[in-house]
Amino acid sequence: MIENITLFPFDQYWWFYGVFTLFVVSMLALDLGVFHRKAHDVSFREAATWSVVWVVLAMLFCVGLYYYSAWAFARDPRLMAIAGFDAVAAARQVGLEFLTGYLVEETLSVDNIFIFAVVFNYFAIPAKYQHRVLFFGILGAIVFRVIFIALGAVLMQFHWVIWVFGGFLVVTGLKLLFAPEKPIEPEKNFMIRLLRRFLPVTPELDGQKFFLRKNGVLHATPLLVCLVLLEMTDIIFAIDSVPAIFAITKEPLIVFTSNIFAILGLRAMFFLLAGVMHKFHLLKYGLGIVLIFVGLKMAWLNEAFGGKFPINWSLGIIGSVLALSVAASLIWPARSPAHEVK
C-alpha cells in the first residue's frame, strides 16, 4: 500500500464493517438455528460441504473486494490526487493481501484443531455436542479478535510497535521449530480454577446445556468448562495471528475480514481434519517458518524493499512452505509408538 495512506479509512467505510458484520451474524444464525438446531454427530460429508462453502465464500468476497476497490478508489478524490496512483493496481494489491492474510490465518488455525481435539477428549465431550461448544467458542473468538484488531490498528501507528510485533513473531516461530511441545493441563488453567471457585461444576453432562440448576443452586456443566478453556487458548493464539496478518497488510478492513473468514471456517475444518491431523506431523515446522518470515517481513523486509515487500512474493513463499511441509509429512510419515526403539 501507499505509505502513510489508509485506503479504507473507518469514517468512510464504517458501513462496510456494518454490512460485513451483519453477514457474519446472519450466517451464524443460519448455522445454529437451521442446520444445527438439533445436536448431532457432524459427518465427514457435512464437514467437507461446509468447508467448501466457507472457502468459496471467502474467494467470492476476495473477487468482490477487488472489483469494488477498483471502482471506489477511482472515485476517491483523496486517492486520485496522489501522483501516479493506479486504482486497478491498488485494488489488485488489496485482493492479494486479503488472499495472503486468509491463507496465513487458516494455516495458524491448524494449531487450534489440535487443541480442540485434546480438550474434547480430556472432558469426554460426545461428538454430537462438540459443534455447539465450537459455535459459541467461535462467537467469542470473533469478539476477541475484533478487540485485538482494533488495538493493533491503533498501535501500528507507532513504528516501534512494528519492531516489537515482528520480533515476537520471529521468537514464536523459533519456539515452534525448536521448543518441545508441552501437554495441555486444563486443571492448571487460571480461568478454569477461577470458574470452579465461584461456580460449582457438575461431573456429568445434561444434554447440550452449559448450566444446570440443582437444589436451587446454579451449576456449570463440563460443556461450559470446555468452552472457557477453548476461549482462553484462542486468546493466546490471537496474540500470534493478529500481528501476523498486520505483517501482511496495514489495512484494518483487510485484517478484519480475512481473520473472520478464517475463523468462520474453523469448525468445519476441525470436523474434517481432526481424525487425520496426526499425519501432518511436519506442518508445525512449516508454521514456524511462516511466522519467522512474516515477522522478518514486518520488522525488516518491508523497509528493505522500499516500504513494502511484494505481496505476490509473500503469497508464493507462504504457500510453498506450507505445501512442502504437508508433502514432506506424507512422504515421511511419523513413526508410530509401536515401532519406536525402547
Alpha helices for 265-337 (secondary structure H)? 266-273, 283-296, 302-304, 311-331
- Confidence band of 259 (pLDDT split at 50, 70, 90): very high
pLDDT at 72 over 80: yes
- Can you give the pLDDT at residue 187? 64
Q: What grid cell was written down for 309?
A: 515487500
Query: Domain range spanning residue 245?
Result: 10-332
CA dist 201 and 226 (Å) reads 11
- Domain assignment present for residue 5? The answer is no
Query: Which pTM value belongs to this model?
Result: 0.85
CA dist 102 and 220 (Å) reads 36
Bridge partners of 214?
217
**b/e code 93-111 from CB counts within 10 Å (16+ = b):** bbbbbbbbbbbbbbbbbbb
Q: In this structure, what are the phi and psi dihedrals at residue 217, rounded to the nearest 5 degrees? A: -110, 130
pLDDT tens digit sequence for 304-324? 887 778 888 998 999 999 899
Lowest mean pLDDT among 35-39, 55-59, 331-335: 35-39
Cα separation values, 22 from 27, 29, 40, 211, Å = 9, 10, 27, 29
- Confidence band of 54 (pLDDT split at 50, 70, 90): very high
The rounded mean pLDDT for the chain is: 85
- Domain assignment present for residue 196? The answer is yes
- Domain assignment present for residue 219? The answer is yes
pLDDT at 124 over 70: yes
CA dist 127 and 300 (Å) reads 45
- Domain assignment present for residue 4? The answer is no
CA dist 148 and 245 (Å) reads 12
How large a percentage of the chain has pLDDT more than 90?
A: 29
- Domain assignment present for residue 338? The answer is no
- Domain assignment present for residue 203? The answer is yes
Lowest mean pLDDT among 144-153, 226-235, 289-298: 226-235
- Can you give the pLDDT at residue 94? 96
pLDDT at 261 over 90: yes
pLDDT at 126 over 80: yes
- Domain assignment present for residue 303? The answer is yes
Quote the number of domains for the chain. 1
CA dihedral 223, 189, 198, 143 (to 10 degrees): -60
Q: What grid cell was written down for 163?
A: 519492531
Bridge partners of 218?
213
pLDDT tens digit sequence for 269-296? 888 877 677 788 888 898 889 989 988 9
Task: Give the DSSP H or E segment for 217.
Answer: strand 217-220
Cα separation values, 17 from 23, 24, 165, 242, Å = 10, 11, 25, 18
CA dist 201 and 155 (Å) reads 40
Within 10 angstroms of residue 238's Cβ, the number of other Cβ atoms is: 20
- Can you give the pLDDT at residue 30? 82
- Confidence band of 13 (pLDDT split at 50, 70, 90): very high
Using DSSP, state whether 320 is helix, strand or coil.
helix
CA dist 20 and 2 (Å) reads 25
- Domain assignment present for residue 164? The answer is yes
- Confidence band of 340 (pLDDT split at 50, 70, 90): very low
- Can you give the pLDDT at residue 341? 38
Amino acid present at 141: A
